[in-house]
Amino acid sequence: MRKNVLFMIFSSIKFCLLLLFFLFTATNSFAQNITVKGQVLDGETKTPIPAVNILVKGTSLKAATNANGVYTLTNVDPKAVLVFTYIGYTPQEISLHGQTQLNVILNADNGNLKEVVVTALGIKKEKKSIGYAVQEVKGETLEKVKSPTAIGALAGKVAGLNISNTTDLFQSPTISLRGQTPLIVIDGIPDPTADPYKINADDIESITVLKGTAAGALYGSIGINGAIMYTTKRGKKGKTSVEINSSTMFQTGYTVVPKVQTQYGAGNNGKYAYVDGSGGGTEGGGWIWGPKLDQKDPSTPSGYYETTQYNSPTDPVTGKLIPLPWISRGKDNIKNFFRTGMLSSNSVSVSTSGENGSFRISAANNYQKGTVPNTGVNNSSFSVSGNYALSPKLTMDGRLTYNREYANNYPSTGYGPTNILYNLLLWIGPDVDIRDLRNYWVKGKEGIQQRNYNLSWYNNPYFIANEQLNGYRKDNTFGNFSLNYQIAPDFSAKLRSGFNQYGTDADSRYPYSYIGYGTLSKGDYSYTKSSHFDIATDLILTYKHKFNDDFNLSVIGGAANSYNNTKGMTTSTDGLNIPGFYNIANSTNPLKGSNSLQERQINSLYTMADLEAYRFLYLSFTGRRDQTSTLPVKNNAYFYPSGSLSAVLSDALKLPETISFLKVRTSVAKVNSGAITTDPNNFYAQIQTYNIGNKWNGNASLSWPDSYKMPNLIPNTVMSWESGMVVGLFKNRLNVDVTYFQNKEYNNFQLVPLSETSGYTTLLQNANVYQRKGWEFMVSGTPVKTSSFEWESSFNFSNSHRWLKEATLSTDGYIGNLKVGERADKIFTSLYQRTPDGQTIYGSNGMPLNDPYQRSIGYADANWIYGWQNTFKYKNISLSIAVDGRIGGSIYSTTNYKMWWGGTALGTVNQYRDDANAGKSTYVGKGVIVTSGAATYDNHGNIISDTRQYAPNTTPVNYIAYNTGTGSSAENNYFYYSGTYLKMREVALTYTLPQKWIKKQKVFQGASVSLIGNNLFMLAKIPNVDPDAESDNLQTPSMRSIGFNFNLKF
Amino acid sequence: MKKKYLFSIVFLVGIALSSCKKFDYYQINPNTPTQADPSLELANIEQTAFATISTDAGLATRQLVYTQSASTTQYYGWQRAGFSYGNISQVVKMEQEAVRTAKPNYKYLGKFFRSYYIVGITLNFGDVPYSQAMQALNNNFSDAAVRPVYDAQEDIYLQVLNDLKLASDSLSASGGIINNDIIYNGDVTQWKKAINTFSLRVLMSLSKKEANTKLNIKQRFNDIVSNPAKYPLFTSNDDNAKLTYYDLVGNRYPYNNSNSLKTDYYLDDSFVKMLKGLKDPRLFVYGTPTPNAVAAGLSTKDFNAYAGLIGSAPVADNVQKMTAGNASAINHRYAYDAVNEPSVAIGYPELQFILAEAVARGWIAGDINKFYTGGIRNAMLFSRYKGDAAYTLNDIETYLNQQSVALQAGTQVQQILMQRYINTFMNTGWQSFYEQRRTGFPTFETAGSGMLNGGKIPTRWMYPTAELNNNGVNVDNAIKRQYPGGDDINGVMWLLQ
């Protein structure tokens, strides 16, 4: 109790302010200033380096070396720190400690091993000192080949980061870092609600991926899953530059497109006769199991079999529909419907810098024209950023970005009547020519009744594209400022505050006569608005001290406060008085609506201590205490520690010549979720409340949840450990970075199933222990390097799996179907009954028998994901090629299942189908029947005893009934496919204008032109769909993009 | 200079931290409540309890045939069913709120809804947990509370009959106003009528247990019927316990615009023949003429315009007949009318048929014909979709005057049950299935080769998988003591023995 009170006082705002006041008023003693001289030499050749910049840190005092590498600085504080920088060399900071002669050796910067990287809170550290896995991607790699989102372009580039890019327009890629969703951070400011569209790729200086819990521990509970840190660009020192970057790509062809049969049309049982579009009776219920097309029939006027169809003219005498020839008019429906999509990205930036600071402004626009007619997305960004030294000791830095995403219409996704593919690929037979449906209103009923061949299940694809509209507009404003005060050469303070704000409004319009599941729209219209604001403020004190040549210490202490607020409101009507007038004032019935508010506050204190010993050993500790509003007050604060160690053995030991660099590292961390939920956007998850129920004729209702949150829940916790090694061989021509990590996840929130007869179906409890393990490998290097030709290559592969280690509340070692010791991503699904050796068991009616237990059919996670980037440079031409993919893991394909079920799959074209059309039952399912005996099962479906005897199944069934009943699931592994694939993700062939041409004129400082391609080609085991998305719920065909990039620097 | 910066920094920190609020502030969810008036739960319970429209019931009782695929319901090859104790949880929660707010009438309504739900569950499975169920809602998470034992079906029925009596005896005007009541608008007498009528249904469902002295069903039946002042019963269709649909979001007829109902549901051949045989005009409001009949120009009121599919025949055969234009689809109103007809949990016609059966069984004295014809008349009045457009009041009397309709000695129970069956087309849930299971009337056609379950009509459902996982010992014990053949859909529960 006393501890709590003390902590409360300690964490109070007053304390922060007092501390700040104390710090800024602390005077530093002034000693007699001195003059410093010295020479700068190259570490390898030991020759002098001219024009090295020397800056007295925290001042504007500077000098440069002359042709002999000699410099002189006068009037220098004897405690000052000198910073030596030269392009191509690793910068060095050296404390004077009163020395007047200071000779310095600068080492050439060989690749990434000596780089500085951005770590948690935006703290920059030398890469070799880091004891956990970090990977940086430079902004330039995102420059040429554009993805709809900047993060989507990271696919395959970072070991342990799995980006699944969807084929659907304006859908966010799925980001998974070591199997979890990481925190997004922009310029050190956490952005818990970041959407991947808000960041302009050309504003990104670098992206740093902090892979593990230890790396993100300094962010506390929100950093539990690691972090992806964006660092935005600032003006480059000493010049004014204008850069124009323009990429345009056209989606000209298909990487993967479903192949459908073109021999049978709509109907069922080989019959079809259109009556009124209501779908039943002779129209066959909406199936594509109709009569064979293009069948000669000499008795008809056309010479082909004829039947009534949706576009049949009416006989003016009899009033009946006139039969039309049943021919394959719609062979190319997919090709005829989709148009050439486009992705155009244009940006301009201007930056300048002067004596004391720099300034950058930028503007960018991305336009995506969808392959579905009347769809597209615009995304514009404006950004200003700058930094300035107000005094030698006080610098400020800031950025403000405005981003607007807007789409008047983007296509709906997922299996269902709003999906274009649903209406175009699955449920329009080749008897219908999609081009005939371009006029999508019934004549005389424009705005009221769509024209389509079926009016009970499906919509005209043109009607969906032009009338069922999904609008979305989002304004993002986000930025930060920071002030950095160098109190003393060893001691600095930083105040940083950043915010993310957005407002969205989205509407969806369902025109009259739109057919959904259980709806026939009379003008459904909904309008949703939401707004978000979050602000995070940090005060960070840094103390750096070099005790002697062998010991360096850096300590930071910080306090932070963050506040999140999200509001939302939605209003909808399901009927408009005036068709097509989408305004809620036009509603027929009372409006339906709801609103919500989510607020969260976290107060934090944190510290970090980095110790460098004997110039090769780096030890780091971090600790953070979060007090959060998402936990009950009595128990709302937790401490998050981490520790890491890095040893650069190549700096300490004499190693064989081939090994130029060797580092080992290890780290541990313990972090918890800081909330009683695994949903980071639910800030009230610890409170048990009623749910709002359906309103009946104006009477409101509530219902009590079927799950109960047990009292005394504590946040779920991850104890993480990782180790790794970096080896540089052959003068760092070949680098290998290996990481192994292991997380123990305990106190998990588990909805522990309960007998519903107790009153609840689940109890939310702290239960079960999972273990997540994985390997990450990165191999990079320069296999070939001559004066004119260079090949750079980088290959990474990684995996991450999760196992159930303990089922703490289970009486029999199971959680649902999953047994202790098994991988948690094991897929269980309903299959037909099978013999122990895997044959399908059929019933007496020739149909496979349902199994009352769920069975396993594989694992969801990939065994490995991999990526391979190559750059070939020959003089002014460079070619970069990026391929990536995954190995293993099972993906369920809705598209393939529905194609078999509905009658459009190529595999359904066979003799059995013709037989079924002729009314004959000839298909015999492959498998057995049980002739005698029975099996008994335990409660999890494991066989206890089995006396079954089998005989081959010989009962013929109607092939169409078999497919509409089972979809031929058993024959197609229940539509689970291996997720293995290899994709040619990006190709860029760039020609850079030679330096000599550049020098001849004064307009350009650099110019390049590239031929670019995206998503060009793939090899995959799954048919008809792109496994890149890692799931298929009727995805848009995967398109190949080809185009140009122009880059001009003035 | 320095002071200026310092001042501005202090000021900025102040701004940045000014968003701080006390942590207590965040401990209230502004979006949903933790406590509620019991009336808010009532409106929710009523929506669930009284929603009884089910096409599956039509498939299982040979009134409908499904053509999209082989329905395990239609072919009698079902396996497990869910428990739906979640509905009882809502009732218990309402009872708790009734106690908290001192509004006892909601507690007694709770007794009725509990009984109504548990009867629905035990009818499907046999023994199920009841006396020891629902304890977790009192925050009791002991072993016995989270894994409740199964009660014998007999004990459940005893508890139900006692609770229903208690509810009818205790509901009163002094028990506080019943708000938010979407069924009877807070009318206590109407609720008593519904509870007593439901009691008679439960008692009749126990007809095989006439001799059971523990339950004493004949006595209980008479206690209610003989004391209308204390135990009022339904007196007209107006009293029906029904959920009325509205053309509002979430309030529409459950199959309104159902795509599947538009294309995949046809009348069963045996049902069409039954209605044709009786010249029952309800055929015109239950079904549509076949496409061929329409093409031939037959009137919708021509019995020859209707034909059914055979529920036991393979899907392919039915699809063949359907695509040939020879099948009557379910009437368009079920898919195209947002209001259509109300969902009746229990209605006045059913009461009349129960009373008629009670007379036939000698439980009570009374005019069996009055009950029988009253039941049919009110059933036909209820089904008269859009009034005279369906059939006139005269048509009803004509129907009643037919020799084929009039009660015949020796087949009274059969005829009463056939009318009770015709009355429940697309209404009153699975009641007809349970009545058929109890009495064998009407006979469901099972001759076709599409039949599963060895051609038998199942008598129950297997217990839900979740129970095997979460309450394994108790469900195993219940299976062992009831069903020698194991947890099987053909097991015969106590009620049917």
- pLDDT > 50? residue A22: no
- Which letter, b or e, does each residue of A324-346 get, where b requires 16 or more Cβ atoms within 10 Å of its Cβ? bbbbbbbeebbeebbeebbbbbb
Instruction: Look at A338-352, A934-948, A992-1006, B176-190 and tell me which has the smallest mean pLDDT.
Output: A992-1006
Contact flag B1-A391 (C-beta cutoff 8 Å): yes
Where in A47-151 does DSSP place strands (E)?
Answer: 53-56, 62-64, 70-76, 81-85, 92-95, 104-106, 116-118, 124-126, 134-138
C-alpha A715/C-alpha A787 separation (Å) is: 58
Mean pLDDT, all residues of chain A: 90
Spell A534-561 as b/e; 16+ CB within 10 A means b: bbbbbbbbbbbebeeeeebbbbbbbbbb
| C-alpha torsion sign, points A445, A448, A451, A452 | negative
pLDDT tops 70 at residue A601: yes
B24/A contact by beta carbon, under 8 A = yes
pLDDT at residue B306, as a whole number: 98
The pLDDT assigned to A112 comes to: 42
Looking at the fold, whether B385 and B265 belong to one and the same domain comes out as yes
> Who contacts A1015 (Cβ-Cβ below 8 Å, separation ≥6)?
A255, A983, A984, A985, A1038, A1039, A1040, A1041
- The reply to whether B484 falls in a domain is yes
Are the Cβ atoms of A702 and B41 closer than 8 angstroms? Answer: yes
**Does B153 share its domain with B267?**
no
Q: Does B258 touch chain A (CB under 8 A)?
A: yes
The minimum CA-CA distance between B248 and chain A, rounded to whole Å, is: 7
What angle separates helix B348-360 from helix B368-382, to the nearest 10 degrees?
A: 160
With beta carbons under 8 A apart, name residues in chain A contacting B90: 703-704
Instruction: State the total domains in chain B.
Output: 2
Domain membership of residue B186 (yes or no) is yes
Classify residue B243: in a domain, yes or no: no
**Both B442 and B491 in a single domain?**
no
Cα separation of B164 and A397, whole Å? 75
In a domain, B17, yes or no: no
pLDDT > 60? residue A8: no
Are the beta carbons of A800 and A820 closer than 8 angstroms? no
Q: What is the pLDDT of residue B15?
A: 56
Would an 8 Å CB–CB cutoff place A239 in contact with chain B? no
> Does any domain span residue B47?
no
Chain A residues near residue B246 by CB distance under 8 angstroms: 697
Task: Name which of A40-49, A282-291, A327-336, B327-336 the model is least confident about.
Answer: A40-49
Task: Judge if B363 and B490 occupy the same domain.
Answer: no
Band of the pLDDT at A657, cuts 50, 70, 90?
A: confident
Residue with tokens 């660009």: A233
Residue B13 banded pLDDT, cuts 50, 70, 90? low
**Residue A172 CB contacts under 8 Å (≥ 6 apart), including other chains:** A149, A166, A195, A196, A197
Whether A1003 has a pLDDT exceeding 90, the answer reads no
Which residue in the set A278, A696, A845 is minimally distant from B452, CB to CB? A845
Examine the pLDDT at A110 and tell me if it is beyond 60: no
Size of interface A-B (CB pairs under 8 A): 308
The residue among A17, A494, A758 with the most chain B CBs within 10 A of its CB, best to mutate, is A758
CB contacts under 8 A, A 1002-1021 vs B, are none
Contact yes or no for B117/B123 (Cβ under 8 A)? no
Q: What confidence tens digit (pLDDT) does each residue in A294-311 have?
A: 999 999 999 999 999 999
Would the pLDDT of A1010 be above 50?
yes
CA dihedral A316, A318, A319, A324 (to 10 degrees): -80
Shared domain for B391 and B404, answered yes or no, is: yes
A residues 252-311 lying closer than 8 A (beta carbon) to B:
267-269, 271-273, 275, 278-286
Domain-located, residue B123:
yes
**Which residues of A are less than 8 Å from B78 in CB distance?**
none
ipTM exceeding 0.90, yes/no: yes
pLDDT digits (tens, 9 = 90+) for A876-902: 999 999 999 999 999 999 999 999 999
Residues in chain A: 1050
Record the tokens describing residue A426, joined without a space. 């699955």
Q: Are B359 and B485 members of one domain? A: no
Question: Do B160 and B271 belong to one domain?
Answer: no
Mean pLDDT on A86-104 = 80
Interface of A with B in 883-922 (CB under 8 A): 916, 919, 921
Q: Considering CB atoms only, which of A627, A699, A916 is closest to B180? A: A699
| CA–CA min distance A936, chain B (Å) | 10
> What is the number of other CB atoms lying within 10 angstroms of the CB of residue A356?
13
Cβ separation of B26 and A600 shorter than 8 Å? yes
Domain boundary among B448, B470, B485: B448
- A71-75, A459-463, A572-576: least confident range: A71-75
pLDDT at A113 over 50: no
- Coarse DSSP helix, strand, coil percentages of chain B, rounded to the nearest 5 percent: 55, 5, 45
Q: List the one residue out of A850, A799, A795, A860 whose CA is nearest residue A825.
A: A860
pLDDT band of residue B20 (cuts 50, 70, 90) is low
d(CA A693, CA B48): 11
In a domain, residue B67? The reply is yes
Nearest to A395 by CA among A431, A432, A356: A356
Query: Does the CB of A630 have a partner CB in chain B at under 8 Å?
Result: yes
CB-CB contact of A769 with A808 (8 Å): yes
Residues B408 and B479 in one domain: no
Q: Quick one: average pLDDT of B2-14?
A: 61
pLDDT of res. A5: 37
Give B 112-141 residues with CB within 8 A of chain A. Answer: 128-129, 133-137, 141
Helix residue ranges, H only, A172-325: 213-216
Calpha distance A957→B114 (Å, rounded): 46
CB contact under 8 A, A755 and B146: yes
Res A375: pLDDT = 96
Q: Do B325 and A695 touch (CB under 8 A)?
A: no
- A852-874 confidence digits (pLDDT tens): 889 999 999 999 999 999 999 99
State the pLDDT at residue A54: 87
**Domain shared by B339 and B349, yes or no:** yes
- Answer yes or no: is pLDDT of A19 > 70: no
**pLDDT for residue A11:** 41
pTM of the model: 0.87
Residues B485 and B495 in one domain: yes
pLDDT at position B53: 97
Q: Chain A: nearest CA to B494, how far in angstroms?
A: 21
Q: How many CB atoms lie within 10 A of CB A354?
A: 12
Q: Which residue has the tokens 């409360």?
A: A8
Burial A611-625 (b: 16+ CB within 10 A, else e): bbeeebbbbbebbbb
> Residue B356 is part of which domain span?
53-79+255-448
Q: What is the CATH number of the domain that holds B114?
A: 1.25.40.390
Structure tokens at A633: 């007050």
Q: Answer yes or no: do B261 and B218 share one domain.
A: no
Q: Alpha helix locations (H) across A413-512?
A: 420-421, 461-467
B174 at A interface, C-beta within 8 A: no
The tokens for A724 are: 């790794």
Residues 6+ apart with CB under 8 A from B237: B347, B348, B349, B378, B381, B382
Q: Which two tokens stand for residue A851?
A: 């199994």
Question: pLDDT tens digit string along A325-373?
Answer: 999 999 999 999 999 999 999 999 999 988 888 999 999 999 999 999 9
3-class secondary-structure state, position B285: helix
The verdict on B267 and B415 lying in the same domain is: yes
Q: B128 in a domain, yes or no? A: yes
Q: Which of residues 474-503 of A touch B (CB under 8 A)?
A: 483, 485, 495, 497
